[in-house]
Amino acid sequence: MNNFEFSRASDVADAVRQMAADPGAKFVAGGTNLIDLIKEGVARPSRLIDITRLPLGRLDETGDGGLRIGALVPNSDLAYHPQIEKRYPLLHSAILAGASPQLRNMATTGGNLLQRTRCFYFYDTTTPCNKREPGSGCSAIDGLNRMHAILGTSEHCIATHPSDMCVALAALDARVLATGRDGERSIAFADFHRLPGDTPQFDTNLKKDEIITAIELPPKGFATNYSYLKIRDRLSYAFALVAVAAALEIENGAIKEARLALGGVAHKPWRDRQAESQLHGAPAIRESFVRAADNVLRDARSFGHNDFKIELARRAIVRTLTQAANGTPQSQGDKRIR
């Protein structure tokens, strides 16, 4: 690892101050991705600011009946929190689909949002990569792209966002609270991550001096009709080829509200409001789900090795919506796909 400076932040304001003072600084909490990237020489921070002692580890109810999750709540604590298991089982399930128990014990809620892509060109500093070295070119577009994106890609980058948790947060309409020199702001989850465009070096719209302090979940948790289905190359401890979060509100066999988010297919957790609104009022039957899947994938584009992902995503969407509608969510323990 490079010889970075190390300091601790005493409070949120101090964290923001320290970050503003050092353009090469990074916050560190769980470290599960950042330490890895520093070892690979992909990240070379001048300073690490340890934020683990900040008071951001609480999980509280909000005034409107939602939940506020402190940015430092570990992924495992969040997944197994009684309120999450009961009211937001989609989030519970998505978190448990990701990484390993050890990594979930380390990784924090805020850090999970800031995971960088697992594209192997991004990780291998001998190859060109626009995300790692802007302007050097994208090796994946004409290279090995089995894991890569099929939606929202650009000619500069086809990397995917690797998080499972974020897919559920996107579906649940979470909000991200961040504090910077200009004070605190609340960011809609859909606006937090970004598409690569011609600046793939930026994964999110978080400003350099901002720190994530909390995630807010709205009251609605879709605890009855939901499912998180993750499809990967082995049965556990692998990144998604395709993941789908589905949440439905069904009344008398008709869909009153639908949420649909995809992981492993784009530079950000993929929400498609057009496909969702098409489901509104539709009967909760396979034909509706097929139509929704076609709609989500209407602009999908693949790059050779990942051609299969379009069809896989189509089938996964239909299956996940079916699981949600039937009230038979995918279990992350038993690997049989329901």
Tell which positions 96-115 bind other proteins, by CB under 8 A: 99-103, 105-106
Amino acid at 111: G
Q: How far is CA 96 from CA 31, 70, 190, 197, 238, in A?
A: 19, 19, 22, 31, 12
How far apart are alpha carbons 210 and 201 in whole angstroms? 17
Nearest to 273 by CA among 176, 148, 173, 194: 173
- DSSP conformation letters of 282-318: SBSSHHHHHHHHHHHTTT----STTTHHHHHHHHHHH
Q: How far is CA 337 from CA 107, 221, 314, 334, in A?
A: 27, 23, 16, 8
Residue 93 Cβ, how far from other proteins at the closest point, in Å?
12
| Residue choice 68, 146, 194, 301 for contact with other proteins (CB under 8 A) | 146
Tell which positions 294-313 bind other proteins, by CB under 8 A: 305, 308, 311-312
93 part of the interface to other proteins, by CB under 8 A? no
| Residue choice 9, 15, 25, 48 for contact with other proteins (CB under 8 A) | 48
Residue 189 Cβ, how far from other proteins at the closest point, in Å?
26
Q: Which stretch binds other proteins (CB under 8 A): 27-35, 148-156, 163-171, 202-210?
A: 27-35
Q: Are 73 and 106 in contact (CB under 8 A)?
A: no
**Residue among 216 and 307 whose Cβ is closer to other proteins:** 307
| Residue choice 177, 206, 316, 325 for contact with other proteins (CB under 8 A) | 316
- Residue 251 CB coordination number (10 Å): 9
Q: List, in sequence order, every residue forming a beta bridge with 215; answer none if it has no partner.
A: 69, 176
Tell which positions 207-246 bind other proteins, by CB under 8 A: 231, 233-239, 241
Residues at the site binding other proteins, with contacts judged by CB under 8 A: 1-6, 28, 31-32, 35-36, 38-41, 48, 50, 52, 76, 80, 99-103, 105-106, 118, 120-121, 123-124, 126-127, 139, 142-144, 146, 231, 233-239, 241, 305, 308, 311-312, 315-316, 319, 332-338
